[in-house]
């Protein structure tokens, strides 16, 4: 990861600072249901405003596909940002037209303005140079604080960064530093936990991690595919029969380069996936033909805990089981508590990310006890896959 400039490197007093935020928050029936992204963004906005900048916030929301969709306006997010900051936040019903120009011109040092949804313009997702220039014309400096949108080469993430002096905001900075600590220049040994429903969607991820980690733990339904590829009957468990040879190839690759792949040794199985259903713990070699594996068992958790005690760094993507429904959350919760305790004791650097992972760690009550938990979703996964993120590359010196 290259070097990048941060807010430490600039004097923003009196300057017009365009901040690329991620205000793409969950909304239900017109109400914001989770303020996490706005809360994590607020320190950058507060710092810039406190130093006398004229702060102009831009973001996308949902997928209006280049058209005005009233239900996808950023007006509610502007109001929520004002509540989180504890100060007035202005909103303008455009991001690139005369109304936006007038609103920016009216800003005083310390003011905050939220522009309307950048995706109302088709030039946003096309990374159109004219649209990017229009956004750049409104500002003197650009601050990208939206790592979660950094995997997209859009006008407001990549295009503008090529046109203005550009810097990483505090959230972007924290994310990049945590990711570098996890896989860029980690303390070894390094363990990665990768889980999910399909091997086919995580081939790039597995391939990249094999070259970077010492121990790779595979959980979730992905583990079923790896077990079945070795001739183990997994009953009615979700698996990808067409990926068996790929799974064997990955196992062979790991052995050839001296990486260790860890698979479950026991499983929590049930005949159906519903609340209150009967379940039992069996060795993975004894999964009944009419049952499905919905979590890893206690012997697997114990083995992971022992292995974790030898690690210095952990990267975690994906819960070990179907954590949404008890008792299939037990393995994820148990391991999460051990990871949190080791982190707090200074024994482990722990970085986690991905939508289900964040939800699982919150469910376990430890999301704020790990070294860093990324809410970036797709950008976090593409970083784990070793891909170049356009929004980050544009900031690098």
Q: Which of 52, 110, 378, 386 is catalytic?
A: 378
Q: Which of 5, 355, 369, 387 is catalytic?
A: 355
Burial 332-370 (b: 16+ CB within 10 A, else e): bbbbbebbbebbeeeebbbbbbbebbbebbebbebbebb
Looking at residue 82, its pLDDT comes to 97
pLDDT of res. 9: 83
Packed helices 75-85 and 36-50: angle between N→C axes, nearest 10 degrees? 60
Check 15, 16, 20, 37 and give the catalytic one: 37
> Which of 198, 212, 236, 271 is an active site residue?
198
Q: Report whether pLDDT(1) > 60.
A: no
Q: What would the mean pLDDT of 273-299 be, rounded to a whole number?
A: 95
Which of residues 237 and 396 earns the better pLDDT score? 237
312 an active-site residue?
Answer: no
Is residue 198 part of the annotated active site? The answer reads: yes
pLDDT digits (tens, 9 = 90+) for 305-356: 999 999 999 999 999 999 999 999 999 999 999 999 999 999 999 999 986 8
User: In whole angstroms, what is the distance from residue 196 CA to residue 219 CA?
Assistant: 7
pTM for this one? 0.87
Q: Band the pLDDT of 189: cuts 50, 70, 90.
A: very high
Strand residue runs (E) in 116-225: 141-144, 166-168, 190-195, 215-219
Is position 355 annotated as part of the catalytic site? yes
Q: What percent of the chain is modeled with pLDDT above 90?
A: 84
Highest mean pLDDT: which range of 21-25, 181-185, 384-388: 21-25
Q: Is 82 among the catalytic positions?
A: no
Residue 198 pLDDT exceeds 80 = yes
55-to-97, 162, 312 alpha-carbon distances in Å = 18, 19, 40
């Amino acid at each position: 990861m290259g070097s990048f400039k941060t807010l430490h490197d600039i004097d923003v007093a009196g300057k017009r600072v365009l901040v690329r935020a991620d205000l793409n928050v969950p909304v239900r029936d017109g109400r914001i249901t989770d303020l996490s992204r706005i809360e994590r963004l607020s320190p950058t906005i507060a710092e810039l405003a406190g130093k006398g900048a004229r702060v102009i916030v831009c973001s996308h929301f949902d997928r209006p596909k280049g058209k005005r969709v009233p239900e996808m306006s950023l007006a509610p997010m502007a109001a929520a940002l004002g509540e989180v900051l504890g100060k007035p936040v202005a909103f303008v019903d455009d991001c690139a037209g005369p109304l936006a120009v007038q609103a920016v011109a009216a800003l005083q040092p310390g003011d905050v303005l939220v522009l309307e949804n950048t995706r109302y313009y088709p030039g946003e997702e096309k990374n159109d140079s004219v649209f990017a220039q229009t956004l750049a014309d409104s500002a003197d400096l650009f601050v990208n604080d939206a790592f979660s949108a950094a995997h997209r080469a859009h006008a407001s993430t990549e295009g503008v960064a090529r046109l203005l002096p550009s810097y990483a905001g505090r959230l972007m900075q924290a994310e990049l530093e945590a990711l570098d600590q996890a896989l860029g220049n980690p303390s070894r040994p390094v363990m990665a936990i990768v889980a999910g429903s399909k091997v086919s969607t995580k081939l790039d991820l597995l391939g990249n991690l094999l070259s970077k980690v010492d121990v790779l733990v595979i959980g979730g339904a992905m583990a079923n595919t790896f077990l079945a590829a070795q001739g183990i009957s997994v009953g009615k468990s979700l698996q990808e029969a067409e990926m068996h040879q790929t799974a064997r190839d990955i196992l062979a690759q790991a052995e050839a380069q001296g990486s260790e792949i860890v698979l479950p040794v026991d499983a929590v199985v049930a005949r159906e996936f519903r609340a209150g259903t009967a379940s039992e713990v069996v060795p993975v070699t004894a999964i009944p033909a009419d049952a499905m594996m919905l979590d890893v068992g206690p012997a697997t958790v114990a083995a992971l805990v022992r292995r974790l005690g030898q690690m210095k760094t952990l990267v975690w993507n994906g819960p070990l089981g179907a954590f949404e429904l008890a008792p299939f959350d037990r393995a994820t919760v148990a391991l999460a508590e051990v990871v949190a305790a080791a982190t707090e004791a200074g024994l482990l650097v722990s970085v986690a990310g991905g939508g289900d992972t964040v939800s699982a760690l919150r469910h376990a009550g430890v999301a704020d006890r790990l070294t860093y938990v990324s809410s970036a979703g797709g950008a976090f996964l593409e970083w784990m896959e070793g891909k170049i993120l356009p929004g980050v590359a544009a900031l690098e010196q």
